[in-house]
Amino acid sequence: MIGTISRRQAGPRPRRRWRRVVAVAVLVGLTWMSLSYARALTYPGSAPWSDRTVEWIRANGGGRVVTAVEQWYYSHHRASAGDAHAALRRLTAPARGPAPESASASSSRGRAELPATVQSPVAHPAAGEGIWQPVGPAPSGRPALETTVFQPNADDPNMVVGAAWMDTRALRATLVAGTVVPGGSGWAWHSEVPPAERSHLVAAFNSGFKFQDTRGGYYAEGRTAVPLVDGQASFVVMADGTATVADWGRDVRMGPSVRAVRQSLHLIVDHGRPADDLTSNVQGDYGTRRQQLQYTWRSGVGSDGHGGLVYVAGAGLDLRTLASAMVDAGVVRGMQLDIHDGKSTFNLFRPDPGVAGGAVGTKLMPNMQRPASRYLQPDQRDFVAMTVR
């Protein structure tokens, strides 16, 4: 009888022990997740909490969930026509951004060194739509940077893009590493435009996909942060500071003339026309399948074949429309850069020693979500800075 009672009393103990083990494991897991999330929210860089949260979920096994949510959201929610037209009106207003430094740079039309005027696809364009306007410095009396805005699809008034043309013979390109992408230490510019360089700063713009979402790599300052891959769309900075967009291994190869390379997916514009498989994306060359069909913020950069770079961005674009807009803006070879809300940033800068940052920024498009001062403080993502030679 005594032995029977003892067994009955001992019976629940293993179950209680396992409950304690499970409770401790859950507590440890929750503590680790809380600390991990807290680190993500406080890690150096100017990314907003929403971006940090999404990237934290991706990095902790939730990539498929995030992709599914993005797929649904960006396929069913588009920028309103009112927002697009407001951006168009503001961008075509007479005074926007830093003023030209030279009156001789007041018009770019008919000059062989500058991009051809974008032909507006709309029947009754707004005043100034599709006309390149000089902004900022004009070395030797020739504009080094010009901007324009236009509607790339006459059948869809929701779509408005801004474009910036940069003369890399007058401007020097620098690829700047971010605190997270590609991360690491010892980079010369430490994830921001250094104060000593801001008196020469003209513009800065976002880079490409995170490397977990693309097969491409990153090379700068004589070191490889992520291995480069042949066939990938590549933003290439040469030793003399000029830059081009290329199919790596076909158009450009590694050599002493290459200073930096940033890869992201495949070319979306080649030989002056959109790639053939942008809509199908069968091989996933342009991101996750069906991502190319999402109507979202998209950005891209390309070469015009004559020493110029062209940056294009807009809200509510699918991939095919971005590529077509880049072709309209004169791109011969082009690559998609980062996409989705808060990722597309092109800021024009005017030196001003009287302000705290040493420069005043202006957004290329007023509805770009990140501040005009982005890149004047540490940023989590890598970017490109353009400075006067």
Largest CA distance in the chain: 109
SS3 content of the chain, % helix, strand, coil (to 5): 25, 25, 45
Provide the CB-side half-sphere exposure for 259 (13 A, CA): 13
Contacts of 126 (CB under 8 A, 6+ apart): 88, 89, 92
Name 35's Cβ contacts closer than 8 Å, sequence gap at least 6: none
Q: Please, what is the Cα angle at 190 between 221 and 357, to 5 degrees? A: 130
Task: Specify the pLDDT at position 105.
Answer: 34
Strand pairing report for 333-339 and 346-351: unpaired
- C-alpha 48/C-alpha 63 separation (Å) is 19
The pLDDT of residue 230 is 98
| 193 closest CA partner among 178, 209, 208 | 178
Give the number of other Cβ atoms within 10 Å of residue 216's Cβ.
Answer: 25
Alpha carbon distance 317, 323 (integer Å): 10
Pairing of strands 218-220, 258-263: antiparallel
Counting Cα atoms < 13 Å in the Cβ hemisphere of 307 gives 13
Distance CA(274)–CA(4), nearest Å, equals 82
Distance CA 360, CA 351 (A): 6
For residue 198, the surrounding DSSP H or E stretch is none
**Tens of pLDDT, residue by residue, the chain (389 residues):** 445 545 455 555 777 777 777 777 777 766 756 666 666 566 566 667 566 666 656 666 665 665 666 666 666 666 554 555 566 666 555 444 444 343 333 333 333 345 655 655 555 566 667 888 899 888 777 889 999 988 888 777 778 899 999 999 999 999 999 999 999 999 999 999 999 999 999 999 999 999 988 889 999 999 999 999 999 999 999 999 999 999 999 999 999 999 999 999 999 999 999 999 998 898 888 888 778 888 899 999 999 988 899 999 999 899 999 999 999 999 999 999 999 989 999 999 999 999 988 999 999 999 899 999 999 999 999 999 999 99
- Beta-sheet strands, E only, within the chain: 133-134, 145-150, 160-167, 171-176, 201-206, 218-220, 223-226, 233-238, 243-247, 258-263, 267-270, 273-274, 296-303, 308-317, 333-339, 346-351, 359-363, 383-388
User: Is residue 167 within 8 Å of residue 237, measured between CB atoms?
Assistant: no
User: Which residue, 304, 268, 308, is CA-closest to 287?
Assistant: 268
CA atoms of 163 and 145, how far apart (whole Å)? 10
The model scores a pTM over 0.85: no
